[in-house]
Amino acid sequence: MRARRLGLVAVATLTLGTLVACGASEEVTDSTAATTDGGTVYPLTLDNCGETVTVDAPPSRVVSLDQDSTEILLSLGLQDRMVGTASWTDPVRANLADANAAVPRLADNAPTYEVVLDTEPDFVTASFGRHYKQGGVAERARFTEVGAPAYLSPTDCDNGRSVNGGTARTTPLTMDSLYQEITELAAIFDVNERGAALVDELKTRVAAATDGVESGDMTAAFWFADTTSPYIAGGYGAPNLLATSLGIANAGADIQDDWAALGWESVVDRDPSILVLGDLTRDRFPGDRLADKIAFLESDPVTSTMTAVREKRYLTLHGAEMNPSIQLVDGLEKMSAGLRELDPSS
């Protein structure tokens, strides 16, 4: 299958018109895309973060450039159509381990364009737009030219441009963008019922995790990585969504970037009552590992003055649980349980 761009006269083209093109910062409604006998009508055309993506048939040789997009595809039961994954920060979600074991890992971080092409893909998907910019894996047009349409997660899109590719968000991320990604990928692969079931499952879990949680006047700072210039979550990305869903004030709410490299003095001045620490299995920056984070916090003369450090009020999440992915719901459940332990009355 070689996908192609189609003009306005294309016959039987399906557009997911009920979905906003870049839902990371826009209202997204549930998909009611036209199907035939419950299946996708091809060619399928999507408005995808400022670009048009057209597929002529369900892809059969897919490369996923990020753990987040990989886990969605695996959750939709598409491992037999995947020929490569890349960019992993954490172990695969436990329920997906067997399926993931059958899919080649092209690289732990970003693969080269040539490595991706060697798999002869007919579709490429990514969670972060950095892969599709100059200096990344390859611009989207280069994949389209070889018959592999390139899809970008709506969670990384704001006003038709990639957030991770260099655009600041204008409004906070919502769960609707994740649901949109699942719905669109299900339509691309003609597994619409699986997509709807996965969205329903996630919505049910979100409702249960946020029910009855009392967070009082707690504030939380989310630290992803790096002891030198710590990456702290801002007020528009996935960690902020975790905080607001649980009624917690995000200590970095005034920061527009999803993640900003701050000085420790700035973090200490915010004096969060809780520190949410990323436990990463990679070793890319100093302090990727949880033990290294805690050791630094408690030994450094500046950071050790924070209330959260003095009282050891830590919550721990995997990196993927602080990204806009299906593991974000895992992170919400973990934080909900952790808050109840910190405050048994909630």
Q: In this predicted structure, what is the pLDDT of residue 89?
A: 83
Q: In this predicted structure, what is the pLDDT of residue 254?
A: 94
14-207 against 214-342: fold identical = yes
Predicted confidence (pLDDT) per residue in 158-211, tens digit: 999 999 888 889 989 999 999 999 999 999 999 999 999 999 999 999 999 999
Residue among 161, 84, 75 at smallest CA distance from 124: 84
Query: Which contiguous run of DSSP H or E holds residue 180?
Result: helix 175-188
Q: In this predicted structure, what is the pLDDT of residue 112?
A: 97
Report the distance separating Cα 294 and Cα 288, nearest Å.
11
Report the half-sphere exposure of 152 (CA within 13 A, side-chain side). Answer: 32
Residues of the chain with pLDDT below 50 are 1-36, 344, 346
Report the distance separating Cα 66 and Cα 108, nearest Å.
9
Q: pTM of this prediction?
A: 0.86
Question: Would you tell me which CATH number, out of the four given (1.10.10.10, 3.40.1350.10, 3.40.50.1980, 2.40.50.180), belongs to the domain 214-342?
Answer: 3.40.50.1980
Structure tokens at 292: 């290294």
**CATH number for the domain formed by residue range(s) 14-207:** 3.40.50.1980
Q: In this predicted structure, what is the pLDDT of residue 37?
A: 58
Q: In this predicted structure, what is the pLDDT of residue 92?
A: 94
Q: Tell me the domain boundaries of the chain.
A: 14-207, 214-342
Beta-bridged to residue 64, according to DSSP, are 85, 125
Predicted confidence (pLDDT) per residue in 231-277, tens digit: 999 999 999 999 999 999 999 999 988 999 999 999 999 999 999 99
Beta-bridged to residue 132, according to DSSP, are none
